[in-house]
Structure formats: C-alpha cells, structure tokens
Amino acid sequence: MKLYSYFRSSASFRVRIALNLKNLSYDYLSVHLLRSGGEQLQPEYRKLNPDALVPTLVDGDATLQQSLAIIEYLEETHPALPVLPRNPVDRAYVRAIALQIACEIHPLNNLRILKYLKHELDVSEEAKNAWYHHWIEQGFDTLETRLANDSRTGQFAFGDTPTLADICIVPQVFNAQRFNVDTQRYPTIQRIYDHAMQLDAFARAAPGQQPDAE
Amino acid sequence: MKLYSYFRSSASFRVRIALNLKNLSYDYLSVHLLRSGGEQLQPEYRKLNPDALVPTLVDGDATLQQSLAIIEYLEETHPALPVLPRNPVDRAYVRAIALQIACEIHPLNNLRILKYLKHELDVSEEAKNAWYHHWIEQGFDTLETRLANDSRTGQFAFGDTPTLADICIVPQVFNAQRFNVDTQRYPTIQRIYDHAMQLDAFARAAPGQQPDAE
C-alpha cells in the first residue's frame, strides 16, 4: 500500500495510526501542503485525489480518499486487530466521537480556512487565533463531558483498547497543543492522549516521526 | 424509534432519507434551533446529545448522535435495502463522497459558523454570503468533477440505486439552493438531485414536509 501523506495533517495522522494498529506496512509518499504553491494542488496529485486533500491511500488498483472512509476500508479488508467494537450500538458510539472531531472541530481549523480568514476576510492574527481556540474548546468541552460521564470510557475512549475514536482524538490533541490550546483543561481527553502516545502504533504515527517532518 | 430533528437541518434530512429508504417508521420530535434561544441548548436535550446538535436517534435503550454514525447503525441493524454497496472499495468510494460533504462542505456553513462570522468577526452580510458560496462552490466543483468522470456514476452517485452518497448530496443541494447558489452549474449533481427527489423516500424527507416546517 502507498500512503500519500503530509506529516502535520491530522487526517493523514489518523490513517497512519490505523495502519500501525493493524500492523500493515506501507510506502510513505509526501505531499507538501505548503511547498511549490501546495503539492496537493498539482494536476498529477488531483488525479488521485480530486479534492486536493491528504491523505490518499493506494491499495492495488484502488485509490481511496477521506481518512474515515479509508479506515473503514482497512477495518473491512483487515478485520484482525479491529478499531471498531462489535456491537452496533457501541460502533455507533465510537463513530459518533470520531465524527464529532472530523465534522465539528477539525474542518474549522484546517489550513484552507485559516488562509481564507486571513486573506479574504482580513481577520487579524489575534482574531484568527481566537477563532481557532473557540472551535477546539467548544468541541473539547462537549467531548470531555461525554467521556467523563460515560461508563464506556476506559484507558481509551471506549474501553481499554484503541478504537476509531482514539484515532481521531490523538491528532486533534496534537494539533490543539501546536496552537497553544491548554489541553490540561480536559483531563479525560489528556489522559487518553497520554496513554495512547505510549503505544508504538500512535508514537510512530506522530508528525515528528515522518520522513517529511521539519 | 424516535428522531429528534429540525426540519431545515441537513444532518437531520440525511437520517430522514435513510429511515425512509429502509422503510423504517419513527416518531418525529422537533428541536427548534432558533426558538427559545435554541432548543438544542436546553439541558434536557443535551442529556441526549452532549454536542447540542441535531439529529439524535433513540432506538430502545440506545441514544445515537451524528448523522453518519446513525446511518451506519441503521445499515448494520437493518441490512435489507442497503445504502452502501457490498464491495469494500465501492463502500469506501461512497463513504468518501458522503464525508467530503459532511466534513469539507457542510461544517463551514451551518448556523453556528454563520453566527460567529456575524457576531464575533463583524463580517458584513455580503462577505458572509461570499463565505457561504465559496465553500459550497469549491466543494461542488470537485464533487462534480469526480461524478462526471467516474464510471461508477449512474442515475445516482453510485449506480442506479440510492446510497449514502446521495443521502448526503440531496440535503446539501437543497441547502445550497436556499442560499441562492446556482446549482445548475453542476449538471451531474443537479441531475442526481432531481432524480432522487422523484423518489418518495427523498421527497417525504424534505424540510417542507416535516411537522415543524415553517
């Protein structure tokens, strides 16, 4: 398998964790989002990923986009070492946590949005940071409430083995810390992050460990 | 089953379509996002949905959030009349289209974002509309390219029966039209929308058909 990835991309980070958790090896192909006017915008890459986003996973003849779709694909094609529970209600719970991050937090803070705020809306650096913090904190507030009160929370978001929920939580915490959000305010989220990062599958997937890390 | 829904919510619209496609009946409970300072923010509702978002599906003892997680749950618990193809590569393709809408287009244009632009960033009505149009058009441009060029596109996004992709496309088109985006610029998307809305499952799920429609 080949993974088109950018070291700092949270969505790429998610897929790297899932591949590692399933003991799947892959070739790492860097797509630098800032160099050469954005390598993701080059016509050759857009043939693989019409949305000009990372990651893209190539598995044989199949070219797959969108991190959560890729991880569901890996779960279906490599069901050993599952990242989703068995019971449909529990699967929906884990997916809801993943989607809360992927749909409600992450999209508001990625590169193209911050660029638009700065260049099109002429928003100050301070207001841009406030925007960033607002959506992370609003999302983490409700995620913390959920995790702190649900009996399914264990060492990870669902019990004591990592699932799709943790695969989304860890990159979002990493990203938040990079932008100086005080994640200690969210003790359950922070605890899950710390625990996950002790596992090789998470640690090896971290941005700083990638071949294109700066 | 009970569905907590708001007639205009795209995410609620998605779940209504899925329930209809699977011939599942449900009780409709309205959560008015604008009345009483936002009924979704009331403590009683937040017990069901900590993120204060619609929809929430209650099925027996299970309380489920996030439209795509709910639809995957319905697919697993009611596999007849599937909304995902069988083959893992095709499932990933359909999920990628759904997630492109759910993660890249929809989050940027929902109520809480438009409110923040207006009240916190003091953005003009004109700039707010430009923001709205920008993200819809960028997303629809790439979606149109994908659908127009992929041999899997049929009367629907994947072949000739509706899938999770169409379940996400139709509410997004509806929403775009409400904000005066010229969706005729996207002939494949428009054609899929028109075809879908001829089906009872889609038509009955439309905002104007809901008990809380205004």
pLDDT digits (tens, 9 = 90+) for B131-178: 999 999 999 999 999 999 999 999 999 999 999 999 999 999 999 999
- Cα-based distances in Å from A128 to A67, A180, B107, B126: 26, 13, 17, 20
Where among B66, B81, B96 does a domain terminate? Answer: B81
Q: Could you give the ipTM of this predicted complex?
A: 0.97
pLDDT tier for residue B37 given thresholds of 50, 70 and 90:
confident
> Is B77 within 8 Å of chain A by CB?
yes
Contacts of B17 (CB under 8 A, 6+ apart): B162, B166, B167, B170, B171, B201, B202, B205
Using CA coordinates, name the residue in chain A closest to B123.
A121
- When scoring B121, B133, B168 by the number of chain A Cβ atoms within 10 A, the one with the most, hence best to mutate, is B121
Q: At A59, which CATH number?
A: 3.40.30.10
Q: Do A100 and B65 touch (CB under 8 A)?
A: yes
Measured at the CA of B141, the angle between CA B135 and CA B142, to 5 degrees, comes to 100
Tell me, yes or no, whether B112 and B176 share the same domain: yes
* Contacts with B92 from chain A: Cβ below 8 Å: 62, 64, 69-70, 72-73
Q: Do A95 and B72 touch (CB under 8 A)?
A: yes
Q: Does residue A214 lie in a domain region?
A: no
* pLDDT tens-digit readout, A49-62: 988 899 999 999 99
Please tell me the predicted confidence (pLDDT) of residue A111.
84
Q: Does residue B55 lie in a domain region?
A: yes
Please tell me the predicted confidence (pLDDT) of residue A177.
96
Show the low-confidence residues of chain A (pLDDT under 70).
none
pLDDT tier for residue B36 given thresholds of 50, 70 and 90:
confident
- Span B192-212, mean pLDDT? 98
> Is A134 within 8 Å of chain B by CB?
yes
Task: Report CA dihedral (B19, B23, B26, B28) to the nearest 10 degrees.
Answer: 60
pLDDT tier for residue B130 given thresholds of 50, 70 and 90:
very high
Q: Does residue A210 lie in a domain region?
A: no
> Is B127 within 8 Å of chain A by CB?
yes
A with B: how many residue pairs have Cβ under 8 Å apart?
A: 121
Please tell me the predicted confidence (pLDDT) of residue A112.
87
- Cα-based distances in Å from A29 to A50, A184, A201: 17, 34, 19
Distance from CA of A175 to the nearest CA of B (A): 17
Q: Which of B70, B103, B117 sits opposite A103 (nearest CB)?
A: B103
Tell me, yes or no, whether B99 and B31 share the same domain: no
Distance from CA of B85 to the nearest CA of A (A): 12
Tell me, yes or no, whether A61 and A104 share the same domain: no
Domain with B106, as residue range(s), is 88-201
Q: Does residue B212 lie in a domain region?
A: no
**For chain A, how many structural domains are there in total?**
2
Tell me, yes or no, whether A75 and A94 share the same domain: no
Q: Does residue B213 lie in a domain region?
A: no
* pLDDT tens-digit readout, B42-100: 989 989 998 889 999 999 999 999 999 999 999 999 999 999 999 999 999 999 999 99
Distance from CA of B5 to the nearest CA of A (A): 17
Q: Does residue B211 lie in a domain region?
A: no
Q: Does residue A92 lie in a domain region?
A: yes
Tell me, yes or no, whether A137 and A56 share the same domain: no
Q: At A141, which CATH number?
A: 1.20.1050.10
> Is B142 within 8 Å of chain A by CB?
yes
Where among B60, B81, B102 does a domain terminate? Answer: B81
Tell me, yes or no, whether B196 and B155 share the same domain: yes
Tell me, yes or no, whether A50 and A144 share the same domain: no
Tokens describing residue B179:
């904000």
Q: Do A96 and B50 touch (CB under 8 A)?
A: no
Q: Does residue B209 lie in a domain region?
A: no
> Is A146 within 8 Å of chain B by CB?
yes
